[in-house]
Amino acid sequence: MPHPEGGARRIDPTERAHLLDASGYTPPIHRFAPSPELAPMVRRYWMPVWSLPDGQLSVQRVLQYPVCLIVVSHEYALLVGPSRGLSTQELRGTGWALGTMLQPAAGVALAGGPVDALTDRAVPLADEALVAAIRDAVADEPHDPTRRQSAVTVVEESLRKLLPVDEEGLLVNAIVEHVEGDPEVQRVSQVCETFAITERTLQRLTARRIGLTPKWLIQRRRLHEAAERLRDVERPDLAAVAADLGYSDQAHFGRDFRAVTGLTPGQFAAEPRPNR
């Protein structure tokens, strides 16, 4: 897809964190990779554009990653902290929102201090100039690819002032990437061994930089994997899913999944899926 000079590259990843709504609906979501120099600061950008019939409500559900988000829509502008539970967003009528999924390293700079002050919170985005520039870029044409790309470019230009990422930030990026990417990581002690740090140091680092515990990182990775498995067209064997994810038994898996999503694994697996 052509895009403006300096614009981000369009991507279409499988988003394991996005659980859709209970009917299986999701609006069209346009996703973009960051420019290479911003990769230590930004994971990706995403922009849903929706148009729902009068009176229809869609509650989109997300098992959020351990990062902060910048979300600017036609109606609101927020800095969203990491969420330990299930994040939801109600969609009505017609609208759009441009989201920036930051890297773990970026939270301190945006929060103005330790990220644990933002855990499970969303606060108004203080950068009014950035909000105005994004809305000007999109205008009333969120379906226009050039407008979407221009809005992403606006965010990129704003975030460049946060570079370079400090050494601690690069370390926390690497730790989170390791936990998210390696299903063999089942215990906090394994993370400590890989990065040659004590558990106390790791606890302090994750509290300051991502507002969460190392144990939470491992559990969230497991739940992301679980949601991905439970989406399969063929009804999954729940006991096998639990065992593959490292749970001692199916009941423990069910309790963890329900505590975060409000649904049992079986209930989630039974929900409609696109193209099912």
DSSP 61-123: EE---SS-EEEEESS-EEEE---SS-EEEEE-SEEEEEEEEE-GGGHHHHHTS-GGGTTT-EE
Summary mean pLDDT of the chain: 90
Q: With 0-12 CB in 10 A as exposed, 13-18 as middle and 19+ as buried, what is 181? A: exposed
- pLDDT confidence tier of residue 11, bands split at 50, 70 and 90: low
Q: What is the pLDDT of residues 105-122, one digit of tens each?
A: 999 999 999 999 999 999
Adjacent-strand bridge partners of 99: 46, 71
Distances (CA, A) of 102 to 21, 28, 161, 167: 24, 21, 14, 17
Token pair 């105005």 in the structure block, residue: 132
Q: What is the pLDDT of residues 126-141, one digit of tens each?
A: 999 999 999 999 999 9
What is the pLDDT averaged over residues 168-189? 96
d(CA 8, CA 176): 23
pTM of the model: 0.89
State yes or no: pLDDT of 232 exceeds 80. Answer: no
Residue 234 pLDDT: 75
List the chain domain ranges: 9-162, 167-270
Fold of the CATH domain 167-270: Arc Repressor Mutant, subunit A (1.10.10)
Distances (CA, A) of 3 to 31, 146, 148: 13, 6, 9
Among 125-134, 200-209, 253-262, which is the least confidently predicted range? 253-262
Helix (H/G/I), strand (E/B), else coil: 202: helix
What is the pLDDT averaged over residues 21-50? 93
Degrees, nearest 5: CA angle 178-181-184: 85
Q: What is the dihedral of CA 81, 84, 86, 92, to 10 degrees?
A: -20
d(CA 174, CA 163): 17
Is omega for the bond preceding 104 within 30 degrees of 0, making it cis? Answer: no
DSSP state letter for 271: S
